[in-house]
C-alpha cells in the first residue's frame, strides 16, 4: 500500500476549522466538501488517460481524455456521503456505487449492511470515500470486496487517519495498487476506537446523531 499525506497549508487550515467542536454543521459540511476536492486532486494524480488530439482555432493540440472504463467512486455510508459532492465535482463523469458499513461500538467490528456496487469491476479504478480511517476495519472490508470484483486499483480518500488504521491496511494490502490519501495522520486511537485528537463522530457532525 502507498500512503500520501497532504502537506498543504490550505488542507491544514480547513482541517483545523473542521476539528473545532464549536464549528456548526453547515460549516462542517462545507469544509468537508472543500477538503475532498483538494485531496481528490492528489488522489487522481495517476488516473488513466488516453492520448487524443483536438483542433483549436489555431492548430492541432495533443491532449488527454479520461480512459474507459470510467472510474468508480464509492462513498462508505453514512459519513462518506458527506464527501461525494466534493469528489464528483472533480470527476463528474464517474460512476458511483455505495457500500453501507456499521461499526459495533463494543467490539469495534465493521459489518456490511448495504452493497450497491457493480458485480464486475475488472480494470476499474476505484476511489473510496471514508472521512475517518480509525481501526481500518471498514476499509479492509470494502477494499477486499472491490479487489474480489476485479478492481485494477483502489484509492481511499480520508480526511483523518490513525497510525493504527494505516498499519492495518498496509498489512492487509502490500500491493502498490492500493493507496490511501489522507489530510493528515493523527496521534492514536482511544479505547472507544475514536481518533485522537480527531474531530469526533464524522457522521454525527455531518448528519446528526442516530
Is the CB of 48 or the CB of 103 nearer to ligand URA? 103
Judge whether 6 and 39 are in contact, CB under 8 Å: yes
State in angstroms the smallest separation of the CB of 180 from ligand URA: 15
Is the CB of 97 or the CB of 198 nearer to ligand URA? 198
Is the CB of 95 or the CB of 164 nearer to ligand URA? 164
Is the CB of 177 or the CB of 201 nearer to ligand URA? 201
Distance CA 84, CA 45 (A): 18
Site for ligand URA in 99-128 (CB under 6 A): none
Containing 37, the helix (H) or strand (E) segment is helix 25-43
Distance CA 180, CA 157 (A): 6
- The reply on whether position 134 binds ligand URA by CB under 6 A is yes
State in angstroms the smallest separation of the CB of 126 from ligand URA: 21
The pair phi, psi for residue 154, each rounded to 5°, is -135, 125
User: Nine-digit cell at 32?
Assistant: 468537508
Cis peptide before 69 (omega within 30 of 0): yes
Stretch that binds ligand URA, among 30-38, 39-47, 151-159, 197-205 (CB under 6 A): 197-205
Is the CB of 103 or the CB of 149 nearer to ligand URA? 103
Q: Which of 23, 1, 2 is nearest to 13 (CA)?
A: 23
Sign, CA torsion 174/175/176/180: negative
- The reply on whether position 132 binds ligand URA by CB under 6 A is yes
- The reply on whether position 198 binds ligand URA by CB under 6 A is yes
Q: Name the residues that contact ligand URA, by CB under 6 A.
A: 79, 132, 134, 193-195, 198, 201-203
Amino acid at each position: 500500500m502507498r500512503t500520501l499525506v497532504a502537506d498543504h497549508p490550505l488542507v491544514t487550515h480547513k482541517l483545523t476549522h473542521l476539528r473545532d467542536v464549536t464549528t456548526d454543521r453547515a460549516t462542517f459540511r462545507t469544509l468537508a466538501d472543500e477538503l475532498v476536492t483538494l485531496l481528490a486532486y492528489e488522489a487522481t494524480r495517476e488516473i488513466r488517460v488516453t492520448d487524443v488530439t483536438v483542433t483549436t482555432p489555431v492548430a492541432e493540440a495533443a491532449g488527454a481524455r479520461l480512459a474507459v472504463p470510467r472510474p468508480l467512486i464509492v462513498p462508505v455510508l453514512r459519513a462518506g456521503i458527506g464527501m461525494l459532492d466534493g469528489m464528483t465535482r472533480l470527476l463528474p463523469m464517474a460512476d458511483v456505487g455505495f457500500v453501507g458499513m456499521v461499526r459495533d461500538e463494543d467490539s469495534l467490528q465493521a459489518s456490511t449492511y448495504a452493497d450497491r456496487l457493480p458485480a464486475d469491476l475488472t480494470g476499474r479504478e476505484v476511489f473510496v470515500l471514508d472521512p475517518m480511517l480509525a481501526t481500518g476495519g471498514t476499509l479492509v472490508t470494502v477494499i477486499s470486496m472491490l479487489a474480489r470484483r476485479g478492481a485494477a486499483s483502489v484509492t481511499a480518500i480520508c480526511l483523518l487517519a490513525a497510525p493504527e488504521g494505516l498499519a492495518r491496511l498496509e498489512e492487509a494490502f502490500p500491493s502498490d495498487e492500493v493507496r490511501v490519501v489522507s489530510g493528515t495522520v493523527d496521534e492514536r486511537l482511544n479505547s472507544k476506537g475514536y481518533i485522537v485528537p480527531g474531530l469526533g463522530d464524522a457522521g454525527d457532525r455531518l448528519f446528526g446523531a442516530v
